[in-house]
Structure 1
Amino acid sequence: MPAARAAGAAARTPGMQPPLPPMSRLTPRSAAPSTNAIPGFHPAPAVPSYASGTTAGGPVRRQPARMPFYVATRGNVTIYLLGTLHVGDPADYPPGQPFRKPILAALAASPIMALELSPDDLLVSQDDVSKYGVCRRPCLPGLLPEPLWQKLEARLRGNPDALAEIRKMRPWLASLLVETYDSLSAGLQTEYGTEAQLQNVFLRWKGRRIVGLETLSEQMRAFTYLTLAQQREMLAQDLAQTPAQNVADMQTLLRLWRVGDADAIAAWESARTEKLAHDRRVAASVDNRIVYERNRRFVQRMQQYVAPNKPLFVAVGSLHLGGPKGVLQLLRQRGFTVDPD
């Protein structure tokens, strides 16, 4: 299971977020619910970011995070690829220069930016999540083995509002709710997801277009077509560690993302999956459904949008980029030369 799921889908799936009362509709610039919409969640007291520190000589000038950024070329066709986190730390996006100069130059050169979902699809995604992920009456206890339900119930014992909501969810959506708590507990914010920050820059230029690399129905099917065994595996992995351990993993992912090496992220995630998997065969089948099949779709759609001498800027969750089945390797197999920045 990608660690992005253990961080509220921080690195992978912006549309798949749990519907929580009040049923707030997602906006094109926000990939996850407001903390005010999450039952029983009380964010930790604000801590000054390391980016806002001072020295005897005055404020420290913070540089933007490096982020995984690559350039794929084949003849006169160019695709810029940025690995994102769907929730983030404001320290990584300084107001004066939220991205490094090579990333800003790539944005300026690209008439089209491709995200996992288009802004229009992301706007209405909450409705489909509710439609396919929520039962009319409490169903989750009956869909889980008793030990797994007891473990989940114990995890949420101090949060009766969340426990009441999760009883009505299917296992895949319950998994995302657990991950959302861990992500927000790590101190990350939805408005500082990479996609939202990219749009703030990209849409300042006239004549630019943002498209999706998959439709909302395609993304939904990646989850709703999971078997019950696969959904149980997702949730079992979320509960295999304590919340504090999941938060520590999220912070590790954030550090790796700041370094900007997509293959290092993929290798770390692979090792984590091996450690947490309840059933490795089932875990591998889930990864194939919600990561690798989508990677292949992403690459196919990229080639439909890019044109000679008209670069395409692509931003997808960081865990989609690296590794032997990642987007970068799939582009290499199609004749592209792929280099960092």
Structure 2
Amino acid sequence: MSNQSPLPPCLVRLLAGLVFSISSLAASAPASADAPLAAGDLAPASGLSVAGSVAHSAYAAPAKPRAQPRGAPAGGQGALFRVTRDGQMAYLFGTIHVGASSFYPLAPQVSRALADSSQLVLELDTRASDDFDQAVRKHASYPAGDHIRNHVSPDTLRRLVTALHAAGIPLSGVGHLKPWLLANMLIGIELERSGFKRAHGNESFLLDAVQPRGAKLAELESADYQLSLFDTLGDASAEAYLREALDDLSSGMSMKKARAIIDAWTSGDAAALDALIPDTIGDGTVTSDFTRRTLLDRRNPEMAQRIAHIMKDGTVSFVGVGLLHLLGANGLPQLLSQRGYQVERIY
């Protein structure tokens, strides 16, 4: 019989695998570090698009209805592109995966593009969790009887226990999870506590906006694929990834990185957005190298190919992807332009 604690439902809903969001949980776990983590001990929460400790929390509790403030911020949030070729058309919008109610409604240009589209395309359907549950068990959990203490140094384990304790989470409840998932989870908790919630992420808003009129939904990837990318990290790299996250948490750098992306997205300032890529992948860490090689350079061409395939059916699609996928020489606008599409930046 397995000695692992059952995977809490909220952990099942958090995805650590993509874009640059930080998987997150709001923790209300038992105060005792020895107490087992029961299914209801963690409340579902969220994640965000931030560079550094990269991961993509694609799953969270469905967003609750929220009152919308009057008037969108001046200018546009993120970046919005129109892609056309031979009568085909799609919009590309750079999202962040957590947010605040003050982010909405989105800019008028985004609202018009949504109204013009009959299909919403996201990296994943954030309302579904069964596939992610299976992916977590397959890629982010150790086999029955194994434990993270067998895969990291005593010093890393000590630091992890300290961070988990500060978040109110006992190691006994999450010790069967791999270091990269725990790293993303801890930074996600920090984001949640700072007021950036998954329920206010762009994906939830976009789904709420198109659902009443019956727009189709398509996905660019799968939960299994996204988590399999993180599972390519061997023990040494996964431990380094965790230690870098713990360093960022203790120094306050995790929130500094997150706020830089949130501020750039909120302003829609092109210069600030362009600076995100070198800031994200330029520090020579395991995390930044993994972000560049795997989460950007590998996934962006695959996403571009998938978008091109989706556009062939003649349906006008609104494609919402993590903001960093749209930036730089290997961003989706550049890759689609190289494929012969006309790419126009709306803002």
Q: Same fold (TM over 0.5)?
A: yes
| 1:10 shift after superposition | 11
> Does the 8 Å contact 1:68/1:83 carry over to 2?
yes
Q: Which of 102, 112, 123 is the matching residue for 1:116?
A: 123
Q: Which of 157, 179, 183 is the matching residue for 1:175?
A: 183
Q: Which of 82, 88, 97 is the matching residue for 2:93?
A: 82
One-letter code aligned to 2:200 = Y
Distance 1:191 1:185 in 2: 13
Q: Which SS does the other structure have where 1:81 is aligned? A: strand
Distance 1:219 1:189 in 2: 21
**Residues 17, 261 of structure 1: CA spacing in aligned structure 2 closer, same or farther, 3 A cutoff?**
same
Q: Which SS does the other structure have where 1:221 is aligned? A: helix
Corresponding residue number in structure 2 for 1:152 = 160
User: Would you say 1:301 and 2:306 are equivalent positions?
Assistant: yes
User: Would you say 1:260 and 2:268 are equivalent positions?
Assistant: yes
Corresponding residue number in structure 2 for 1:237 = 244
Q: Which SS does the other structure have where 1:314 is aligned? A: strand
| 1:283 shift after superposition | 4.3
Measured against aligned partners, the alpha-carbon deviations of 1:141-184 in whole angstroms (never above 9, x if no partner) come to 22123333333233334345243334221112112112211221
Q: Which runs of 5+ in 2 are unaligned?
A: 1-14, 28-36, 46-56, 62-67
**Residues 304, 181 of structure 1: CA spacing in aligned structure 2 closer, same or farther, 3 A cutoff?**
same
One-letter code aligned to 1:186 = S
Corresponding residue number in structure 1 for 2:256 = 248
Structure 1 stretch 322-331 or stretch 195-204: which is displaced more? 322-331
Corresponding residue number in structure 2 for 1:212 = 219
One-letter code aligned to 1:249 = K
Corresponding residue number in structure 1 for 2:232 = 225
Structure 1 stretch 130-139 or stretch 232-241: which is displaced more? 130-139
> Does the 8 Å contact 2:95/2:320 carry over to 1?
yes
> Does the 8 Å contact 1:82/1:315 carry over to 2?
yes
One-letter code aligned to 2:176 = K
Distance 1:22 1:222 in 2: 27
| 1:15 shift after superposition | 11
Q: What's the TM-score once normalised by structure 1's chain length?
A: 0.75
> Does the 8 Å contact 2:139/2:228 carry over to 1?
no
| 1:31 shift after superposition | 4.1
| 1:9 shift after superposition | 6.6
Corresponding residue number in structure 1 for 2:39 = 22
Q: What's the TM-score once normalised by structure 2's chain length?
A: 0.74
Distance 2:259 2:18 in 1: 12
Q: Which SS does the other structure have where 2:233 is aligned? A: coil
Q: Which SS does the other structure have where 2:321 is aligned? A: strand
> Does the 8 Å contact 1:15/1:31 carry over to 2?
no
Corresponding residue number in structure 2 for 1:325 = 330
**Residues 131, 237 of structure 1: CA spacing in aligned structure 2 closer, same or farther, 3 A cutoff?**
same
**Residues 288, 311 of structure 1: CA spacing in aligned structure 2 closer, same or farther, 3 A cutoff?**
same
| 1:269 shift after superposition | 4.3
Aligned length: 300
| 1:89 shift after superposition | 0.7
The structure 1 segments of at least 4 consecutive aligned residues displaced by more than 6 Å after TM superposition are 8-11, 13-20, 23-27
Q: Which SS does the other structure have where 1:168 is aligned? A: coil
One-letter code aligned to 1:70 = F
| 1:319 shift after superposition | 1.5
Q: Which runs of 5+ in 1 are unaligned?
A: 1-7, 35-50, 53-60
**Residues 194, 10 of structure 1: CA spacing in aligned structure 2 closer, same or farther, 3 A cutoff?**
farther
| 1:16 shift after superposition | 6.4
| 1:226 shift after superposition | 2.5
One-letter code aligned to 1:305 = I
Q: Which SS does the other structure have where 2:212 is aligned? A: coil
